[in-house]
Structure 1
Amino acid sequence: MSGTFDVIVVGLGGMGSATCYQLAKRGVRVLGLEKFEIGHAMGSSHGLTRILRLAYFEGSAYVPLVRRARDLWIETGKAAGEPLFFEVGALDIGRQGSGIVENAETACRDHGLAYDLLDREAIARRFPAFRPGADHVGLYQPQSGFVASERAIIAHTALALHHGAEIHGCEAMLGWEATAGGGVRVRTDQGTYEAGRLILSPGAWIGDIVPALKPSATVIRQTLGWFSPLQPALFAPERFPVFTLETEGGHFYGFPLWQHPGFKLGSPHYGNDVYDPDTPTRLPSPGHREQLRACLADYIPAANGSLLGLKACMYTMTPDEHFIIDTLPGCEQVVVASPCSGHGYKFASVIGEVLADLATRGASPFDLSMFSLQRFIGR
């Protein structure tokens, strides 16, 4: 196969599928390439849901991006004919003085977000499924919630196709090169294609495609568990928010019941389970299973029923845990958008818009300076 396009997007997970949609609806001739099937479970976006928090304790500078992301999830859901964002509120629970709640409050104040500060008793009173620790405090932000992550990738892809994008699943990129005219040539296991711009959003495989980033992109295994709740009514979406929970065993996160009979809990965030993305299976970590159980027993006992399922996914972490969104030095027609350090999916809708802007206009209205490649290349 062969062809010529305005833009080629490599990797059609959360970011790449959104980018194809944003480009196609602008009338750009775009080719999307995915080495696995569309909506696969080999990357970082499966497992039904991902949290969207506006009170961003990772840094107040993220809030303008996540607010735009929220708007776009709602807008895209309407275009797709199904809701993709569910506003159930978000609760960040941390140890007093650890910075989790304090930084979330700073983000709310900086950007005029509604929020409630809750002490230990108030957390248990408002959300009786929780049994907070003695030093726990919380911040509740009502405009937050979760995104239907798997459905969103399918929706973005379907909308991209509707607007004229060419999408190839099960086609792996073998390499790319700059062309004399300032464009790119991409070689796959099925053909060769040319374009004026190339967007690389391959997630855990970024170190293979941009070797200079390999030392700064650590892939870790994350485990998601679903447990039969002992008191299901406590975890209904109208009564229970998405949450993050800082404990002595790590930083966990979870969701209300939705499209699955089990309560979903994520293993300690940013764990040290380094993983090879070319492993042919995605087996969960046995150690994570024990950590999930311990978290339930100590802090969410009403969810500590039988295990219904475990899934593994991957996070690709940078040393400072911020994203990489930048053009490739010396090859400005190539945009890199990976890794997203375990907290990126919620931004997929807006990153798609940002990447489309970079490919078609050469700039974005958002300040992307903290996502620069120069942090890691040329040190």
Structure 2
Amino acid sequence: MAPAGLDAQVGIVGTGTMGSMLAWQLARRGVRVLAFEQFSPGHDRGAVGGETRLFRLAYAEGNQYVPLLRDSLRLWRELEDESGSEILTQCGGLSIGESGGDYISGLLASARATDVPISVLSAAEVAERHPQHRLLDGEIAVLDEQAGFLRCEQAVLSATRVAEQAGAEVLRYTEVTELAEESDSVLVRTADGSSHRVGQVVVAAGSWAARFLPARLAAAVQSRRVLLSWFGTDDIDAYRSEVFPIFVHHHGDQHLYGMPTVDGVMVKVAGAVLSHPVPAPEAVERRHSMAEIRRVSDAVGEFLPGLHPEPIRTDAFTDLYTTDECPLVGRVGERIVVTTGHSGRGFKYSPGMAAAVADVLSGAADPRYAFMSPDRF
């Protein structure tokens, strides 16, 4: 039960990646949750669409993320158990790059410092075990045995459903227009003229979050367009999860990532075209230009010779990036918390992040994640 005079203990703005996981985490703790979603959970306008996302524990982006990833691995399995859905497939993950280069060196250092099980494969070993890949001279691969892929829409729908079953209320097609912080509550106003009073609010609105941030933080974030593409092959069995791990391939300024087929027809490969700013998330162009198609086609032709280099499906989505590409997680007011700006990396660790935000709301913030604090701006 929410305290007298309140519609809920916690309001959540957005039920995408972070918002859905937070609704689940709070509801399973017995917290009365009221979530607002301007579209519907699992929609394809934000950072959830595209069927799959990578999951990795060997993480070159920083040792500080590994505890969050370990927590998330456990929580992904708990969400599967509670929802009855298949979300995480651990098929292993290859990180490919120049031996002694910054990417591979950073990955090895992080894995060893955090005791993540890995194996280093020579080019000859990759050719024997994973012949789908073409390595360039001087390249090696690092195998993360616990890596895999997540079914992103299924994850969001499952978390939302389990949260609602535990008592959370989700208002679909309800756009939040204003958050008014008061002495004992937050007033949430919506586009249909309604208002709701809650004890605390979490802004988890992805690319739409900037409007709810203080000016100093709004100036430190931007919506970016992220491109996805899918390719055909004459031998789809060679790209099933039993034999084809997820992968990330760095070589100089070239970058690709991908994962096994999930439909038995196409293989998802992306990353060759870097994300770039868009003026507003509503303005994102989902079609790819011919220059963008040529760039990813050239990369696929060079590194994945068993795929047809012309994409048979393309799409684009938006995500919110910070200027330092580190998330914004923490209090921005007495009763307002943010979890946003995950900069294209947040899906894999979203349930662990949601648990950490739930701790913030209860007054027990985990000091391991102080590096994400909005106070750095």
Does the C-alpha gap of structure 1 residues 97 and 318 become closer, same or farther in structure 2, counting only changes over 3 Å? farther
Aligned to 1:74: 77
Aligned to 1:364: 365
How far off is 1:84 after superposition?
A: 1.0
How far off is 1:6 after superposition?
A: 0.2
How far off is 1:233 after superposition?
A: 2.1
Task: Give distance in 2, aligned partners of 1:199 and 1:285.
Answer: 37
Whether contact under 8 Å (1:222, 1:284) holds in the other structure is no
SS in 1 for 2:257: strand
Aligned to 2:212: 209
Choose the corresponding residue for 1:140, options 140, 143, 149. Answer: 143
Unmatched runs of 5 consecutive residues or more in structure 1? none
Does the C-alpha gap of structure 1 residues 47 and 165 become closer, same or farther in structure 2, counting only changes over 3 Å? same
Task: Give distance in 2, aligned partners of 1:219 and 1:134.
Answer: 37
Choose the corresponding residue for 1:95, options 82, 90, 98. Answer: 98
Aligned to 1:244: 248
How far off is 1:260 after superposition?
A: 5.1
Give the % identical residues: 28
Whether contact under 8 Å (1:249, 1:291) holds in the other structure is no
SS in 2 for 1:180: coil
Whether contact under 8 Å (1:285, 1:312) holds in the other structure is no
* Residue correspondence of structure 1 range 37-186 to structure 2 within 5 A: 37-181=40-184, 183-186=185-188
Task: Give distance in 1, aligned partners of 2:216 and 2:282.
Answer: 19
Task: Give distance in 2, aligned partners of 1:298 and 1:326.
Answer: 43
Does the C-alpha gap of structure 1 residues 29 and 273 become closer, same or farther in structure 2, counting only changes over 3 Å? closer
Aligned to 1:283: 287
Aligned to 1:339: 341
Aligned to 1:264: 268
Whether contact under 8 Å (1:177, 1:186) holds in the other structure is yes
Whether contact under 8 Å (1:65, 1:366) holds in the other structure is no
Unmatched runs of 5 consecutive residues or more in structure 2? none
SS in 1 for 2:23: helix
Aligned to 1:353: 355
* Letter paired with 2:115: G
* Letter paired with 1:48: E
> TM-score, normalising length from structure 2?
0.94
Does the C-alpha gap of structure 1 residues 366 and 149 become closer, same or farther in structure 2, counting only changes over 3 Å? farther
* Letter paired with 2:348: K
Aligned to 2:237: 233
Q: How many residues align?
A: 371
RMSD over aligned Cα atoms: 1.8
Q: Render the CA deviation track for 1:271-311: whole Å, top value 9, x for unaligned.
A: 33545212276334543322210111100010125532111
